[in-house]
Structure 1
Amino acid sequence: MGKNLQSGERLRPVDLAREHGLSTQAIRNYEEAGILPAAGRTPHGYRTYTSLHAGALRAFLALVPGHGHRTATSIMRAVNEDAAEAAFRLIDESHVQLLDDRRTLEAVERALRDLEPATAPEPGVGHEPGAVSESGVTFIGPLAETLGIRPATLRKWERTGLVRPRRDPLTGYRVYDEADVRDARLAHQLRRGGYLLGQIAPLIVQVRAAGGLEPLEAALHDWHGRLSARGRAMLAGAAELEAYLRERRPTTAGVVPPPTSHH
């Protein structure tokens, strides 16, 4: 199999590198990482590559925008180790993550649409974990439980200004009113969407100051765009990977041919 993989026109590392604006060291690094098949060697020990290596490089570079460098590396390594099923699983997991991110964005948008003051709960309901009480307040433990985060995370958000609970004058406990719960929910959803604390803080400040959601519209529009770009990048990566798989396995890409009878 190794001889077949090295067949074809010989290419130098610089030939592969020049097409994509890379350094020859990058090509060597990709080979050592298993992104490219092992190179052939001249009698003097110089690396030689073929169109197969060029296809592997194109596939990897096309996979990176949609899957990230680490996952793209793992996909190519699995393919080059003849573990295509493992590669397909990694691709599936990336698609699941993209779908989860889309659902997260939808959850953010639902949270933003739900900023009206909550109606007063029925007697007893306000004491359930995470619920806002009849007085319109909740505490750090129930709020953290509702969001699925640790109380320490809420304290960190408080230090960075994302939430601003007041202190009960008798107990000293943090008290979160409806606006604080809203801010915590927004912070939580935006963090899940990949935003950094430094990016979230000014958005929440603007929401407080403006008394509305307009400041977040641009961020949500950008988020939609980034998810769409990832989806298209995954399609482009899949096309290049399929081309590489066909070049690696010209007789087994697609339908496996029937066995040849021998007489």
Structure 2
Amino acid sequence: MGKNPQTTGRLRPVDLARRHELSTQAVRNYEAAGILPEAGRTSHGYRTYTPLHAHALDAFLALLPGHGHATATSIMRAVNRAEPEEAFRLVDESHAQLLQDRRTLRAVEDALRDLGPTTPSLTDEGGGPGAEGMFVGPLAHELGIRPATLRKWERAGIVTPRRDPGTGYRVYAAADVRDARLAHQLRRGGYRLDRIALLTAHVREAGGPEPLAAVLGDWHARLTARGRAMLAGAAALHAYLDQRDAPDRRADTG
């Protein structure tokens, strides 16, 4: 009976590939990208891997769902360059982004509580034209965006300002301001303009935020899944770091 390559010190590219249902070319690409440590070579020039490479591949594939391809790649490159602090910084940034996304979701939910046909009339505070609405400049300033962005949202059907008959300027009524505020929050949450246009249309038609309940539930579920994926990625990365540090620990205790 032949030896199990997973329990010996030498693994072929196909051994790593089969373990994760990848192609051998994908394994070579991961090595070329710095995701895996550099492979050894036989006397005939064939690549040879070790269980450490298997742990590296485990870690990368576990990091992918929570951090995305670009960040997971950067994390693995930093580890393989023996720059763990850089890897930890990247992990921290992903967790900070997840926290920000949770805060954004909460802000959207808070904003939706104020949506509806009874939205109070706007005042002229901040440069708006009184109860009639707001001009593009003051509204853009309030949201922290450029006036061109509001015009882009108008082309997408997200806001539908009327034109002042005397000046031709856009005038955003209370419902438009509500929809612009909602669009701003949803854009921060990663939603595309076509999806936001559909949601704001539902809000206008229904006169309230009820149609968004399913979307918000899905958003919660995606953030929860990302959080769990980050935990799984952290565990796999920890295992890989332990394997990389194992020779040093043996030397320290020898």
Does 2:129 align with 1:127?
no
Does 2:35 align with 1:35?
yes
Q: How many residues align?
A: 245
Q: Deviations over 1:129-171 (max 9, x none)?
A: 5xx5531411111111111111111101100100000000000
Q: 1:42 to 1:120 in 2, by over 3 A?
A: closer
Q: Deviations over 1:191-225 (max 9, x none)?
A: 11011111111111111111121110000000000
Aligned position for 1:182: 178
Measure, in 2, the Cα distance between the counterparts of 1:213 and 1:221.
13
Measure, in 2, the Cα distance between the counterparts of 1:207 and 1:243.
48
Does 2:76 align with 1:76?
yes
Aligned position for 2:45: 45
Aligned position for 2:213: 217
Compute the TM-score of the two structures, normalised by the length of structure 1: 0.89
Measure, in 1, the Cα distance between the counterparts of 2:61 and 2:221.
21
Does 2:137 align with 1:141?
yes
Any unmatched runs of 5+ in structure 2?
1-7
Measure, in 1, the Cα distance between the counterparts of 2:175 and 2:19.
54
Does 2:58 align with 1:62?
no
Aligned position for 1:166: 162
Measure, in 1, the Cα distance between the counterparts of 2:20 and 2:245.
25
Q: Deviations over 1:224-243 (max 9, x none)?
A: 00001110000000000000
Aligned position for 1:238: 234
3-state SS of the aligned residue for 2:131? coil
Q: Deviations over 1:65-110 (max 9, x none)?
A: 0011000000000000000000000000001100000000011011
Bigger proportion of residues as helix: 2
Q: 1:43 to 1:192 in 2, by over 3 A?
A: same
| 2:129–2:135 CA contact under 8 A, matched in 1 | no
3-state SS of the aligned residue for 1:249? helix
Compute the TM-score of the two structures, normalised by the length of structure 2: 0.92
Query: Percent identity, aligned pairs only?
Result: 69
Aligned position for 1:117: 119
Moved >2 Å (runs of 4+) = 118-121
Any unmatched runs of 5+ in structure 1?
1-7
Q: How far off its partner does 1:250 sit?
A: 1.7
Q: How far off its partner does 1:17 sit?
A: 0.8
